[in-house]
Amino acid sequence: MNNLPDMNSQLNLTDAYSSMNKISEKFARQISEEKHNNSASGFFERLIEHIRHEESQLQDDENLAVIYYNRQGQTIQVNSLGFSNPHLIIICSLDIQGYASRILTHMESVELTVMRFKRRPEEPKKDPFGFFIQ
């Protein structure tokens, strides 16, 4: 009586191990993608996509405004956006007096309005919207 496994059972074990490895890799990729999509960087990428799309739709006589509404309901015009993982979004703007400010907020608290508006003939075309990674 031979206690060694035959060649067929060895091949089946190898195939099973290979299949399990592929499933593990696929599952790890899905978890990684989900983690990225639920992070500030994933949220930031989606913001970039939407803002860039609006910029691409601008007519020659239009500018783009990105507006943030704080908890007090004040309207703040955004100059640039950034992020710091896992959940921090950084909103850069100028206040009414012209002082630069940075609003640090959780990504779930961010509500932006992206709007196109006609600019006056003497008004220069705005530079593209800014993005940065902290």
**Nearest-10 crossing angle of helices 7-37, 40-56:** 60
Q: Alpha carbon of 38 to those of 41, 69, 91, 106: distances in Å? A: 8, 22, 19, 12
Residues 75-103: pLDDT tens digits? 888 999 999 999 999 999 987 777 888 99
E strands in 1-134: 62-69, 75-84, 88-94, 100-106, 112-118, 130-133
Q: Please, are residues 84 and 134 in contact by the beta-carbon 8 Å criterion?
A: yes
The pLDDT tens digits for 15-48 are 777 777 777 777 677 777 787 778 999 999 999 9
User: Mean pLDDT across the stretch 45-52?
Assistant: 93
Could you tell me the residue ranges of all domains in the chain?
Answer: 38-133
